[in-house]
């Protein structure tokens, strides 16, 4: 088409809800399950906003077998009187007019998730059918829509989108269904998502619904959300209510053992902004208004190094952050930097050092929930994933700094102790980061022409092919001497450790790094530790723990696995950590099939079975049976044959499928809390086999 043929007649003006149906992604993000769930939460959030304003303490969500979903609340109910400018009833205005609702002024909702006034109308536009019932003014009122157009359905039984539909020609009317119970108010919305809009096979995700309902119940203290799924032959029902608020939310999110208790911090601030305000005569006039911003923060540091942070604006999640999250991070970092400087001598931090705390240091092991509540927040886009109100940054930073100052200057014993633990942890994280960076810059796989900064006690292999190299962590120097002769020096490296290493589940990061054995293991593997761990930099494909086959050996293996789980979990998750299986007994047969036939057994039960078979076959064996008390009792040939030679050895691969369950187990068995461990041991004492104790 030439420019002369392109005229104003080719321009198309989309009016009303037609724009939503034409470009749904602009309003709900996508037309798959994510967009479908976004629509549902637009309706639910309207009910939650009522609860936030103090009206209604329960919301019920029902997923029906016919594909519809119903949301019912006990709020004030959508206004049913006539809106003067449009001449339409309040229900039709809310569900058919974009940028219409009760959240543009400050009289109805002081803090709500709704900002643009398009939520309910967008859902209506993208629904094949939508029914609204409102309890208000002593009656139950109803109105139905088909793809955004108000009218009436002629249902012969259960409501269905396929029922004959008659649109209103001149003016829509609310149906007065019945008298409502005295004092009853509320809104019920039931809708069928339009198959013309949403991708085939798209359905409501129950797990996602549960997660979001649980999150909302944490954020709105005392609010009950009940979900009923009637889509299958076995209905599922779940109710969420948490009176502990965001403090309980932090405890739920935390994955590691606590270093501090959960701290509740809060405050408020005011700011001014210029916004268009109705002057009462139908004109929008730029007016400077004062806003109030309430800030709520719950946080705790744990013994781990992963960060779990959630931020919300008027209970709407902001996964991509915004000005409130920036204010939190800046305020936290600035405050803790000042505290470290103030306590530099006690924390052994050099004032002349160029190193200082970074954001990743203070966020390590932190679990936090940040909520801000304010009228008419500025979001970026209808999906509300980023807060843009500039003034909120300084308010959050100021509230956090003031609350932490009170906490760190408190005279209470618990506050003093926990504040000290926080400072020690973040300084340890800083030192670990600096150490890891220096190590990463200098550590290289040695070649024949370069010097190695690796520990002197490492007996390395010759090969540079990581995929073929193995590191044996050997218990004791005596076993090392035998292992040197038994290994294949081309691809098998040896690192001896002296007895039992540090229990890193109880120790701090700085204690772990200052421990010679732990530091040597991390340095030899060469991939760093904690947050800086890089699996691709590991110098060995397999790390094999080779300890004695006794109780002490098992304890050493457990301590080593604790180190890997806590600071190098990716090694376990990728199946690159193994435990060698040395034999317990050596049976020498005198009249076997070949001279001095040797049989190795790995348990008392296996030994009994082997001896029984020898007696039955009339074969004699050397008595007494040799019982290995340690790897050092084997000669090189025996160790190679049973434990190190790839052709004959047995290895146990250490795996981890559930990270959280593993963390709980390590915390139970290796952590600071003695009482649960004692209870665990007592409860399992009846199952103990005394013969397994090496006494």
Greater confidence, 8 or 241?
241
- 458 with 341, same domain? no
In tens, the pLDDT along 413-436 reads: 999 999 999 999 999 888 878 876
Greater confidence, 175 or 443?
175
Q: At 293, which helix (H) or strand (E)?
A: strand 284-301
In tens, the pLDDT along 43-90 reads: 998 899 888 888 888 999 999 999 999 999 999 999 988 888 778 888
Greater confidence, 409 or 15?
409
Per-residue pLDDT, averaged over 363-392, amounts to 86
- pLDDT-derived band at 279 (thresholds 50, 70, 90) equals low
Mark which of 243, 270, 303 sits at the end of a domain.
243
Residue 278 confidence (pLDDT): 66
- 505 with 456, same domain? yes
- 131 with 32, same domain? yes
CATH code for the domain of 290 = 3.30.230.10
Whether 101 has a pLDDT exceeding 80, the answer reads no
In a domain, 641, yes or no: no
- 68 with 190, same domain? yes
- 177 with 194, same domain? yes
Whether 17 has a pLDDT exceeding 80, the answer reads no
- 341 with 299, same domain? yes
How many domains are there within the chain?
3
- pLDDT-derived band at 32 (thresholds 50, 70, 90) equals confident
Nearest CA among 213, 304, 655 for reference residue 508: 304
CA angle, residues 428, 432, 436, in degrees to nearest 5: 175
Mean pLDDT lowest among 110-119, 238-247, 367-376, 643-652: 110-119
In a domain, 559, yes or no: yes
Q: At 47, which helix (H) or strand (E)?
A: helix 33-52
DSSP string, 197-258: TSPTT----HHHHHHHHHHHHHHSTT-EEEEEE-SSSS-EEEEE--TTHHHHHHHHH--S-B
Per-residue pLDDT, averaged over 656-672, amounts to 77
Domain that residue 295 falls in: 247-432
Residue 8 confidence (pLDDT): 46
- 223 with 254, same domain? no
Residue 7 confidence (pLDDT): 45
Mean pLDDT lowest among 118-122, 372-376, 486-490, 561-565: 118-122
CA angle, residues 88, 90, 92, in degrees to nearest 5: 65
Whether 692 has a pLDDT exceeding 50, the answer reads yes
Residue 23 confidence (pLDDT): 78
In tens, the pLDDT along 163-221 reads: 999 998 877 889 998 898 888 999 999 999 999 989 888 888 899 899 999 999 999 98
- 498 with 396, same domain? no
- 264 with 304, same domain? yes
Per-residue pLDDT, averaged over 112-127, amounts to 69
In a domain, 409, yes or no: yes
Greater confidence, 402 or 638?
402
382-399 core/surface letters (b: 16 or more CB in 10 A; e: else)? bbbbbbebebbbbbbbeb
Whether 323 has a pLDDT exceeding 50, the answer reads yes
Cis amide leading into 624 (omega within 30): yes
- Cβ neighbors of 493 (< 8 A, separation 6 or more) are 458, 459, 460, 461, 469, 470, 471, 472, 524, 540
In tens, the pLDDT along 592-624 reads: 556 678 888 888 888 889 899 888 888 888 888
Whether 115 has a pLDDT exceeding 50, the answer reads no
In a domain, 127, yes or no: yes
In a domain, 363, yes or no: yes
Mark which of 408, 432, 456 sits at the end of a domain.
432
CATH code for the domain of 107 = 3.30.565.10
In a domain, 8, yes or no: no
Greater confidence, 149 or 369?
369
Whether 447 has a pLDDT exceeding 50, the answer reads no
Reduced to 3 states, what is the DSSP secondary structure of residue 96? Answer: helix
Nearest CA among 445, 385, 553, 419 for reference residue 38: 385
- 331 with 270, same domain? yes
Reduced to 3 states, what is the DSSP secondary structure of residue 327? Answer: helix
- 109 with 177, same domain? yes
Residue 190 confidence (pLDDT): 95
Residue 429 confidence (pLDDT): 86
Q: How many CB atoms lie within 10 A of CB 313?
A: 28
Per-residue pLDDT, averaged over 529-539, amounts to 86
Whether 684 has a pLDDT exceeding 60, the answer reads yes
- pLDDT-derived band at 442 (thresholds 50, 70, 90) equals low
Residues annotated as catalytic (active site), given as ranges:
475, 548, 550, 552
In tens, the pLDDT along 477-528 reads: 778 888 899 999 999 999 999 878 888 888 777 778 778 889 889 989 988 8
132 in Cβ contact with 188 (< 8 Å): yes
Question: Which two structure tokens, joined as six digits, stand for 255?
Answer: 């994955």
- Cβ neighbors of 317 (< 8 A, separation 6 or more) are 215, 310, 311, 385
Mean pLDDT lowest among 334-338, 379-383, 499-503, 575-579: 379-383
Whether 384 has a pLDDT exceeding 90, the answer reads no
In a domain, 489, yes or no: yes
- Cβ neighbors of 63 (< 8 A, separation 6 or more) are 69, 204, 206, 209, 227, 228, 229, 230, 231
Mark which of 202, 218, 243 sits at the end of a domain.
243
121 in Cβ contact with 20 (< 8 Å): yes
In a domain, 544, yes or no: yes
pLDDT above 70 covers what percent of the chain?
88
| Averaged pLDDT score across all residues of the chain | 84
Per-residue pLDDT, averaged over 85-110, amounts to 68
- 261 with 236, same domain? no
């Amino acid at each position: 088409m030439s420019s002369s043929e392109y005229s104003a007649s080719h321009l198309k003006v989309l009016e009303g809800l037609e724009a939503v149906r034409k470009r749904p992604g602009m309003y709900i993000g996508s037309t798959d399950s994510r967009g479908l769930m976004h629509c549902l939460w637009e309706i639910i959030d309207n009910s939650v906003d009522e609860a936030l304003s103090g009206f209604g303490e329960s919301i019920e969500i029902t997923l029906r077998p016919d594909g519809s979903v119903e949301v019912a609340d006990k709020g004030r109910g959508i206004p049913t009187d006539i809106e003067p400018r449009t001449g339409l009833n309040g229900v039709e205005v809310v569900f058919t007019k974009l940028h219409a609702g009760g959240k543009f002024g400050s009289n109805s909702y002081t803090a709500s998730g709704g900002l643009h006034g398009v939520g309910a109308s967008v859902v209506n536009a993208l629904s094949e059918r939508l029914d609204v019932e409102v309890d208000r003014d002593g009656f139950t009122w109803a109105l139905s829509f088909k793809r955004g157009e108000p009218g009436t359905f002629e249902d012969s039984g259960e409501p269905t989108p396929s029922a004959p539909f008659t649109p209103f020609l001149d003016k829509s009317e609310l149906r007065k269904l019945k008298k409502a119970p005295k004092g009853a108010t509320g809104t019920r919305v039931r809708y069928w998502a339009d198959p013309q809009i949403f991708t085939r096979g798209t359905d409501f995700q129950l797990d996602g619904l549960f997660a979001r309902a649980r999150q909302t119940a944490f954020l709105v203290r005392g609010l009950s959300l009940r979900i009923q799924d009637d889509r299958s032959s076995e209905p599922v029902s779940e109710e969420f209510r948490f009176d502990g608020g965001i403090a309980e939310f932090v405890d739920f999110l935390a994955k590691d053992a606590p270093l501090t208790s959960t701290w509740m911090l809060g405050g408020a601030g005011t700011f001014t902004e210029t916004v268009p305000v109705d002057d009462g005569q139908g004109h929008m006039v730029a007016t400077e208004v004062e806003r109030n911003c309430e800030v709520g923060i719950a946080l705790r540091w744990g013994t781990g190094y992963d960060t779990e942070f959630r931020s919300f604006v008027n209970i709407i999640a902001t996964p991509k952050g915004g000005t409130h999250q920036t204010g939190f991070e800046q305020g936290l970092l600035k405050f803790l930097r000042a505290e470290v400087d103030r306590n530099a001598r006690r924390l052994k931090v050099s004032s002349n050092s160029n190193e200082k705390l970074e954001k990743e240091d203070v966020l390590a092991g932190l679990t936090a929930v940040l909520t801000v509540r304010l009228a008419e927040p500025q979001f970026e886009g209808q999906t509300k994933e980023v807060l843009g109100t500039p003034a909120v940054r300084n308010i959050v930073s100021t509230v956090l700094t003031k609350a932490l100052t009170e906490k760190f200057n408190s005279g209470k014993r618990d506050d003093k102790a926990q504040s000290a633990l926080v400072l020690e942890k973040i300084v340890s994280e800083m030192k670990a980061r600096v150490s890891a960076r220096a190590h990463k810059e200098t550590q290289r796989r040695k070649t024949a022409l370069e010097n190695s900064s690796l520990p002197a006690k490492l007996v390395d292999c010759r090969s540079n092919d990581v995929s073929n190299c193995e590191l044996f962590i050997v218990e004791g120097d005596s076993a090392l001497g035998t292992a040197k002769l038994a290994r294949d020096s081309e691809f098998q490296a040896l690192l001896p450790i002296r007895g039992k290493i540090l229990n890193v589940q109880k120790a701090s990061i700085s204690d772990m790094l200052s421990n010679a054995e732990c530091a040597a293991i991390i340095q030899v593997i060469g991939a760093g530790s904690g947050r800086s761990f890089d699996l691709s930099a590991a110098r060995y494909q397999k790390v094999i723990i080779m300890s004695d086959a006794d109780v002490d050996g098992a304890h050493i293996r457990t301590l080593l696995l604790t180190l890997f789980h806590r600071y190098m979990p990716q090694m376990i998750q990728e199946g690159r950590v193994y435990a060698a299986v040395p034999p317990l007994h050596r049976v020498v047969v005198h009249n076997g099939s070949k001279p001095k036939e040797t049989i190795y057994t790995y348990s008392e039960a296996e030994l009994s079975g082997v001896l029984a078979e020898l007696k039955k076959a009339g074969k004699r064996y050397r008595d007494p049976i040799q019982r290995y008390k340690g790897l050092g009792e084997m000669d090189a040939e025996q160790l190679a044959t049973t434990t190190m030679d790839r052709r004959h050895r047995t290895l146990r691969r250490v795996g981890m499928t559930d990270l959280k369950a593993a963390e709980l187990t390590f915390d139970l068995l290796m952590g600071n809390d003695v009482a649960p461990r004692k209870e665990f041991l007592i409860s399992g004492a009846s199952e103990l086999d005394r013969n397994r104790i090496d006494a």
